[in-house]
Amino acid sequence: MWKDSFLSYLRFERNYSQATVESYGTDIAQFEDFLQKGEAGGNQALETADAAMIRQWEMSLLESGYSSSSVNRKLCALRSFYRFLLARGAIQADPTRRVSSPKKAKRLPCFLREEEMELLLDEMAGSDGFPPCRDRLIVEMFYETGIRRSELVSLNDEDVDAVSCQLKVTGKRNKQRIIPFGESLCNSIKRYRALRGSAVPPGGDAAFFVDVKGKRLSVGKVYALVRENLSKVTTLKKRSPHVLRHTFATAMLNNGAGIESVKELLGHGSLSTTGIYTHTTFEELKKVYKQAHPRA
C-alpha cells in the first residue's frame, strides 16, 4: 500500500518521469523481497525495517557484485521512500538516517603514453598550411601545458609570450596563473604566428587561436579536432582535450615533478584534486615491477 502511494506521489505530485518512478519501484521491491526472504530476519514489512536491516541489504548488494554507484542509487530510492513514510506518520523515525553510503571507487584518469604522444605530434607535423599547423599546436599546447579547453580557447594573443616562454592563463573563478613552456612549443608558436599572419585577414579577433576568417575558435571545434587526431593513435573511449590534460599531469609526475608543482600548473584549488594522478603513476610502477622483476 505505502509503496504504491509513494510511487503515485513521485509521478503525479513530484512530476518524476515514468522511467524514474519505475526505477524507484524496482529498488524498493528488491529491498522488500530481501526482507521477505528471511535474509534480514524474515517476514518483515517495509514499515518495520530498521537501519541494521538496510545495512545488511547494502552489504548483500556489494557482495553480489553491484557497484558502489548502483548501491548508492538504490539507497537514494529508500531514503526518499522512508522520508515519505515519516512525513505521513507511518513510521516514527527514518531508518536510513543511520546508514552510510558506500564510497565510490575513484576512476583513474585516461591518458596517453609518452610514445603515443610523440607519434601523434610527428604525424601531425607532416601537413603544411595554416589549419594543420594550428591544429598541431593546439594538441601540443594541451600536452605541454596541461591547460583546460576553456582556458585554451580564451587565450588572447597577448597572453602567449614566445620571448619569455610562458602563458598567462585565466582559469576557474577568473584566477590567473603563469605556465612556463619549452623551446619546442615556443618554435611551434612562432611558426603558427607566421602562417596566421599570411593566411588570416588583418583586423580580426584578439584571440590567439582563430579560424581562417580570424574568428576565435569555439570549444566545440577544439574538441572535434582533438578527438579526430587522438583517434589516430589510441583506442581509448575518451579522446577529449581533458585526456591531454591528464597526459600532461601524468607525464610530469612520472618524470619526477613534485605534486605541489603539478597542482599549481594545473590550477587546482586543492591538492586532493591533483592526488588522483599519484594513483595513476603508482599503477604504472606496478606494471613496470611485474614486467621487470623475475619473481613478480
Catalytic residues: 148, 172, 242, 245, 268, 277
DSSP 172: G
Burial 161-188 (b: 16+ CB within 10 A, else e): eeeeebbebbbeeeeeeebebeeebbeb
Angle between helices 241-254 and 276-292 (to 10 degrees): 60
Interatomic CA distance for residues 186 and 192, integer angstroms: 10
For residue 192, the number of C-alpha atoms closer than 13 Å in the C-beta half-sphere is 26
Helix (H) or strand (E) holding 163: none
Q: Which residues pair with 265 in a beta bridge?
A: none
Helices (H) and strands (E) in the chain, counts: 13, 3
- The residue with cell 548508492 is 72
Closest CA to 277 of 292, 293, 265: 265
What are residue 210's phi and psi, to 5 degrees?
Answer: -130, 165
**The amino acid at 58:** E
